[in-house]
């Protein structure tokens, strides 16, 4: 790819930068910068601003709200959004279920679900992982039995992010228990208000409540909520996971984090000189920056290749490289933040309503500890890094 951008491309970047930094509220962007959890209202507000501009569903077909952008414009859009600390469009709505419905769904499903997903009128969550079926997702056991015009769903999903907010859940379910495990799985859409669904929160190590267990007890789902063909859900899941792994790279977000680390490390400290003057710290920071630049070049190649590939229904195995390297860089950056913040990384609990703020240390340190712990998960979700290494070995290296 030619990295000498044209005047039109540079103008597009400038417009994207202006839009993200002026149209999305500072209150939301500051939360994201400081590592605070966004509320449902924050995510919905941001998505609707993007959707009004036509920038919430850029990876969808043009007839359903996508953008006919070049690979460079896609890269610039993602980069500037993350550099401005603007929340990405809700992944479950846009890059996951929306992309699958746009690619494999019926015309009725597209008209029914896509506009509402784009505008966050419906909030979606993902029902893939199960106890004992995480990285080995094909071993899932949640069953959907066809009875006339409906499916009866029984089973359990786990680590279901933001299920407490969700109106709908897209699930992988086993519809043919006699088939080979990848060949008996279907992709189905379930209204979270359906009787028989129970949500149980899981408190994570950072004190958050973003993940949940979801139980299905004789849940009745209309047969028209099946996406594509019965027992072909594994193909649709691979397509979805390819989109998810590309987004997990988060190159722009990591570049913004590097800039923030430099800013905080340059601050005067009462007990010593600024940390940025320490050669050892600068060496570690520079090493991450070099890896981040290499990841950015890989991302450009993958995005460019995606636009040229004839069979877009199959994921690009190179997305596993982005997921693997991007997640490791994100984790290393939180480790550098930990060095900058030092003892202020001690556990912090937000005050109860009506109480005074009780953070230990400066404001910027309050969310640093929880962010460090929360980022441990990025090497697991979307397919663990060990699984990504297997994919790279088989699909890219041919081992």
Whether residue 391 has pLDDT greater than 80: yes
> Quick one: pLDDT at residue 249?
80
Query: Contacts for 105-108 with beta carbons within 8 Å, 24 or more apart?
Result: 105/227, 105/228, 106/224, 108/224
Whether residue 357 has pLDDT greater than 60: no
Query: Contacts for 259-268 with beta carbons within 8 Å, 24 or more apart?
Result: 260/33, 261/285, 261/333, 261/336, 261/337, 261/340, 264/337, 264/340, 264/341, 264/364, 265/340
Please state the domain extents for the chain.
7-89, 124-232, 249-349+357-396
Mean pLDDT, rounded, of the chain: 88
CB contact at 8 A, 173 and 144: yes
DSSP state of 351: P
Whether residue 304 has pLDDT greater than 80: no
Residue 229 has φ and ψ, to the nearest 5°, of -100, 150
Whether residue 354 has pLDDT greater than 60: no
Q: What is the mean pLDDT of residues 193-198?
A: 98
Whether residue 310 has pLDDT greater than 60: no
The CATH T-level fold of domain 249-349+357-396 is Butyryl-CoA Dehydrogenase, subunit A; domain 3 (1.20.140)
> Quick one: pLDDT at residue 244?
58
Beta bridge partners of 153: 144, 219
**Beta strands 197-202 and 143-147: pairing type?**
unpaired
Least confident of 187-191, 273-277, 380-384: 380-384
Whether residue 356 has pLDDT greater than 70: no
Between 163 and 250, name the one with better pLDDT: 163
Between 141 and 318, name the one with better pLDDT: 141
> Quick one: pLDDT at residue 247?
61
Q: Would you call 244 a catalytic residue per the annotation?
A: yes
Q: What is the mean pLDDT of residues 98-110?
A: 96
CB contact at 8 A, 155 and 141: yes
For the chain, how are helix, strand and coil distributed in percent, rounded to 5?
50, 15, 35
Pick the catalytic residue: 73, 210, 230, 244?
A: 244
> Quick one: pLDDT at residue 352?
57
Sign of CA dihedral 391, 392, 398, 399: negative
H-only helix segments in the chain: 7-23, 26-33, 40-53, 71-83, 99-104, 107-118, 233-248, 251-265, 279-308, 319-341, 368-374, 385-391
Confidence of residue 128 (pLDDT cuts 50, 70, 90): very high
Contacts of 205 (CB under 8 A, 6+ apart): 373, 374, 376
Q: Which of 140, 230, 125, 143 is nearest to 187 (CA)?
A: 230
**Beta strands 185-191 and 143-147: pairing type?**
unpaired
> Quick one: pLDDT at residue 170?
98
The correct answer on CATH 3.30.9.10 for the domain covering 124-232 is no
pTM score, whole prediction: 0.83
The pair of structure tokens assigned to 335 is: 């480790």
First-to-final CA distance of the chain: 28
Whether residue 358 has pLDDT greater than 70: no
The CA distance from 275 to 294, in Å, is 26
Least confident of 117-126, 171-180, 198-207: 198-207
Q: What is the mean pLDDT of residues 210-219?
A: 97
CB contact at 8 A, 210 and 36: no
> Quick one: pLDDT at residue 319?
77
pLDDT tens digits along 155-178:
999 999 999 999 999 999 999 999
Count of alpha carbons within 13 Å of 25, Cβ hemisphere only? 12
H-only helix segments in 142-231: none
């Amino acid at each position: 790819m030619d990295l000498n951008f044209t005047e039109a491309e540079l103008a597009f970047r400038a417009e994207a930068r202006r839009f993200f930094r002026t149209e999305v509220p500072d209150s939301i962007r500051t939360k994201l910068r400081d590592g605070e959890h966004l509320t449902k209202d924050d995510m919905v507000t941001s998505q609707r601003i993007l959707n009004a501009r036509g920038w919430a569903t850029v990876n969808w077909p043009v007839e359903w709200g996508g953008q006919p952008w070049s690979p460079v414009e896609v890269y610039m859009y993602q980069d500037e959004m993350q550099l401005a600390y603007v929340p990405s469009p809700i992944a479950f709505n846009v890059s996951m279920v929306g992309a699958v419905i746009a690619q494999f769904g019926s015309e009725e499903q597209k008209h029914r679900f896509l506009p509402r997903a784009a505008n966050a009128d419906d909030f979606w969550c993902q029902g893939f992982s199960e106890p004992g079926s995480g990285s080995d997702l094909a071993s899932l056991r949640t069953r959907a039995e066809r009875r006339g015009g409906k499916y009866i769903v029984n089973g359990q999903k786990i680590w279901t992010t933001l299920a407490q907010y969700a109106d709908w859940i897209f699930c992988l379910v086993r519809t043919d228990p006699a088939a080979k495990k990848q060949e008996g799985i279907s992709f189905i859409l379930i209204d979270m208000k359906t009787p028989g669904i129970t949500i149980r929160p899981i408190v994570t190590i950072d004190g958050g409540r973003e993940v949940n267990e979801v139980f299905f007890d004789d849940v009745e789902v209309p047969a028209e909520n099946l996406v594509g063909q019965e027992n072909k859900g594994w193909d649709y899941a691979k397509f979805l996971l390819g989109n998810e792994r590309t987004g997990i790279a988060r190159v722009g977000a990591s570049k913004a984090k590097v800039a923030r680390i430099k800013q905080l490390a340059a601050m005067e400290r009462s007990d010593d000189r600024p940390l940025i003057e320490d050669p050892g710290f600068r060496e570690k920071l520079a090493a991450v920056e070099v890896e981040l630049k290499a990841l950015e070049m890989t991302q450009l190649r993958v995005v460019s290749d995606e636009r040229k590939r004839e069979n877009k229904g199959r994921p690009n195995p190179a997305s596993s490289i982005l997921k693997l390297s991007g997640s490791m860089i994100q984790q290393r950056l939180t480790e550098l933040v930990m060095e900058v913040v030092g003892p202020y990384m001690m556990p912090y609990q937000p005050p109860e309503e009506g109480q005074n703020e009780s953070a230990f240390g400066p404001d910027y340190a309050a969310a640093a500890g929880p962010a460090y712990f929360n980022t441990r998960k990025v090497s697991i979700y979307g397919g663990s890094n060990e699984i990504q290494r297997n994919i790279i070995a088989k699909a890219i290296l041919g081992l």
